[in-house]
Amino acid sequence: SSPGLLLLTSFLLHMEEGHASPTRLVCDNRLIRKYIEEAKDMEKRVGQCQALPTLTCPMVLPLVDFSLQQWKAKSNETKRREILCDLALLVGTMTGAQDQVTQECGAQQLQQLYQHANSFLRLLQTFSWEAGPWEPGCSPRSMEHTYITSIFLTYRQLVQGKLRFFFYDLAKDLCK
């Protein structure tokens, strides 16, 4: 397992004990850079898998592109919910895709990606500024794909884009 995953896991365990805040993750920008590198790495590795099947049942993936100007105008809570929404769809899609990918190399990469995305999902659920639980009853803009590599691309774009800017915005408030 990659050191990044251990880091994230220990961070999550730490957080669940209630004495750590998301602040460290947000304020140490080496961490988000590390997640971006890992996302690129997973994308590269799945691209090297031989004979990846085309999915017979297309997957629905969130469209994670965004306009920076519109993004900046949103509140942190809105941003968080939007990212959660994208991640929830992504994680759900990966679960479905795992049933279709029997080829070992692809299945391994998918499992690793699933763990990363799922950790982020749980992590962001702890960042709430509003009372009340987060409900995944949202429908992000989405598109159908038949290539497994699209999942990895979407995840990388999400981490490199919305998630990185979200952490950057949070840092401005939290890391005085």
Q: Any residues with CB less than 8 A from the CB of 63 and at least 6 apart, and which?
A: 140, 141, 142, 143
Q: Is the pLDDT of residue 41 over 90?
A: yes
- Six-digit token string for 149: 């590599």
> What domain count does the chain have?
1
Q: Tell me the per-residue pLDDT of 126-144, one tens digit each, with 9 for 90 and over.
A: 776 665 565 656 777 899 9
Residue 35 belongs to a domain with what CATH number?
A: 1.20.1250.10
**Strand residue runs (E) in the chain:** 54-62, 142-147
Domain assignment of residue 85, given as a range: 16-174
Higher pLDDT, 133 or 42: 42
Q: Tell me the per-residue pLDDT of 13-40, one tens digit each, with 9 for 90 and over.
A: 444 444 345 666 778 778 888 889 999 9
Q: Are 124 and 11 in contact (CB under 8 A)?
A: no
- The structure's pTM equals 0.81
What average pLDDT does range 152-168 have in this prediction?
A: 93
Q: Is residue 147 part of a domain?
A: yes
pLDDT at 15: 46
* Helix, coil or strand: residue 56: strand
Q: Is the pLDDT of residue 7 over 90?
A: no
Q: Is residue 4 part of a domain?
A: no
